Amino acid sequence: MANLRVRPGSRVRLARIDPSDTGKHTDETAARVKLARDIARLAKLQDVLYAEHRHAVLVVLQGMDTSGKDGTVKHVMSGVNPSACEVVPFKVPTAEEAAHDFLWRAHRAAPRRGHITIFNRSHYEDVLVPRVHRTVPREVLRQRYAQINDFERLLAENGTLIVKFFLHIAKGEQRRRLLERLEDPDKTWKFSEGDLQERALWDRYTAAYEKLLARCSMPHAPWYVIPANHKWHRNLAVASVLVAALEGLGSRYPRPTLSPARVRRLRAALAR
């Protein structure tokens, strides 16, 4: 999955990345089998992460409306222990959040050691939306890109693994999914007329994403562009990247604190 990673300092042109690409995975059935293995492996890695209590993991999910952020959480994280995994949605800032600097709510929600925290949308909304709607001067946006990189470096240097995913869908696929929401009574509640207003700004959002992907993909906090037209491939790609990233931590269960002799005595006592 290294080909999905945005190299630091590189230019990003989303039009050159096929959102329907499935890479080497052409068989959906086989891909689902591998996804099941990755989900099981992710659950094991989370267990070791929690037991070792040395690292934290921050997963950032961004994408256009209907790109599958909720679906990714639901499927990829289906095997992890919910007591050590939190999902934090980033909506319009509350009055309290707006009274602080734009990174305050992100830092407050950053994961504890031993935990995985998923940002469903994230602090990147504060460079994305203002750029699209032109509500913040460009100089302020330039400062925010730098501040985000500094913030993520701070987390990384203090033991947080950061993995960021942009779920890349085509405009035509978004149209299909929005229509599905309108026509399916079980999904209509997800539809908002605001989605259409934002869809009209598709080109601006694309340019804004290209900018933030290029400026904020760092060795300590990489961005991955995930072709997401096919949900099964989206889930597999995200799971595969996460498994590889967590394996790279080299986490181990803590050494036993009981001596072998003490274990034998306790085992004998339990047998009575």
pLDDT in tens, 199-216: 999 999 999 999 999 999
Range 122-136 average pLDDT:
97
Residue 258 has pLDDT above 80, yes or no: no
pLDDT level of residue 79 (50, 70, 90 thresholds)? very high
Q: Report the chain's mean pLDDT, rounded to a whole number.
A: 95
232 vs 226: CA distance, rounded Å: 12
| Interacting residues of 139 by C-beta distance below 8 A, sequence separation 6+ | none
> Which pLDDT value is given to residue 1?
67
pLDDT in tens, 37-57: 999 999 999 999 999 999 999
The CATH homologous superfamily for domain 2-270 is: P-loop containing nucleotide triphosphate hydrolases (3.40.50.300)
Q: Domains of the chain: which residue ranges?
A: 2-270
Pick from 245, 191, 226: which is nearest to 45 by CA?
Answer: 245
Residue 219 has pLDDT above 90, yes or no: yes
Check: CB of residue 64 under 8 Å from CB of residue 202.
yes
Residue 255 has pLDDT above 90, yes or no: no
Token pair 């340019």 in the structure block, residue: 207
Length, in residues, of the chain: 272
Residue 267 has pLDDT above 90, yes or no: no
Q: Is 85 helix (H, G, I), strand (E, B) or coil?
A: strand
Residue 87 has pLDDT above 90, yes or no: yes
> Which pLDDT value is given to residue 271?
86
pLDDT level of residue 113 (50, 70, 90 thresholds)? very high
Q: Is the dihedral of CA 201, 202, 203, 209 positive or negative?
A: positive
Segments in 53-158 forming alpha helices (H): 69-76, 95-98, 104-108, 125-133, 138-157
